[in-house]
Amino acid sequence: LIEKLNKVITKRFLKFLDEEAKNRADAYHEFYAEFGIFLKEGAAIDFSHKDQLAKLLRFESSLTEKGKTTSLADYVSRMGSEQKEIYYLIGPNRAAIESGPYLEGFKARNLEVLFCYEPVDEYVMNSLREFDGKKIAAADHADVKLSDLPKPEGALSDDEVKALTKWLKDMLGERVAEVKASDRLVDSPALALNADKFMSPHMRRMMKAMNREGADSPLRVHLEINPRHGIIKKLSTSHTADPDKAKLVAEQLLDNALISAGLLEDASAMVARLNQLLERV
């Protein structure tokens, strides 16, 4: 009897919340700000009501104003016909996400990205996996593929890119799994993408904080470079003309990308390298 009551009451309450979200959006926004964490917990672990709970989730996004939220259903309604995935980014706040390099490629293609600020959000997204037939994907993962943009003027040639990426891979060695020209970057010189399918940067930081097994495994990332950025073009010239300085710049470029990804664990080597670079100014 208790089990039956539980099912009936839960079903009715979720229906009530859905109606409130549609008919009294402002009141629901206030309710969600206070109790949304419990709806997220339910969406992640209550498989019987996962679909209903997913409809009740709210997130800020790259298309909403600060403080305004959107639902997964509204996100899907705005998707273009060729978009197959719902994208999200995890960060401490909106400013951190918008100032990072991972949003650039999506904004250039007018692709909406959900902003996730709470530690539980990654677990929720990984548990949901999809919504309304659309796969949910982290926008900062190496597996995400974006459509081609027109090649910008002033960019390195294909041969120059090939030579530079090969040099970078050889020079950086085991620190990077792959180096290639980026289809995501617009204004930033480089970014680091997680090469581990099973442990995101956010999850790695959490496991490290809890001293969990696997958190100290060697870090390897995909490094993507922006062929039209001034730093990359200078590096393309200097890696043959001044290889010693180019090596310092390349290592600093990778560490800068790791900082943006929240993956730089020891900054002591970076500080020493910066001092060497400043001596060359």
Phi, psi of 62 (to 5 degrees): -70, -15
* Contact present, 256 and 185 (Cβ < 8 Å): no
The model's confidence at residue 201, banded by pLDDT at 50, 70 and 90, is: low
Question: Residue 118's pLDDT is what?
Answer: 92
Residue 114 neighbours by CB under 8 Å, 6+ apart: 59, 60, 61, 70, 75, 86, 87, 88, 89
Residue 189 in 3-state DSSP?
A: coil
Question: Residue 143's pLDDT is what?
Answer: 84
Amino acid at 5: L
Q: How does DSSP assign 116-157, residue by residue?
A: E-STTHHHHHHHH-EETTEEEEETTBTT------PPPTTPPP
| pLDDT of 159 over the 80 cut | yes
What is the mean predicted confidence (pLDDT) over 49-58? Answer: 96
- Cα dihedral sign, 150-155-156-157: positive
Q: What is the pLDDT of residues 25-39, one digit of tens each?
A: 999 999 999 999 999
Residue 217: HSE in the Cβ half-sphere, 13 Å Cα cutoff: 15
Question: Residue 202's pLDDT is what?
Answer: 63
Residue 91: exposure state from Cβ atoms within 10 A (0-12, 13-18, ≥19): buried
Q: What is the mean pLDDT of the chain?
A: 89
pTM of the complete model beyond 0.75: yes
Residue 22: exposure state from Cβ atoms within 10 A (0-12, 13-18, ≥19): exposed
Percentage of the chain beyond pLDDT 90 is: 68
Question: Residue 228's pLDDT is what?
Answer: 92
Distance CA 99, CA 104 (A): 9
User: Beta 113-116 vs 85-90: how paired, if at all?
Assistant: parallel
Question: Residue 196's pLDDT is what?
Answer: 65
Q: What is the pLDDT of residues 228-274, one digit of tens each?
A: 999 999 999 999 999 999 999 999 999 999 988 877 877 888 899 98
| pLDDT of 211 over the 70 cut | no
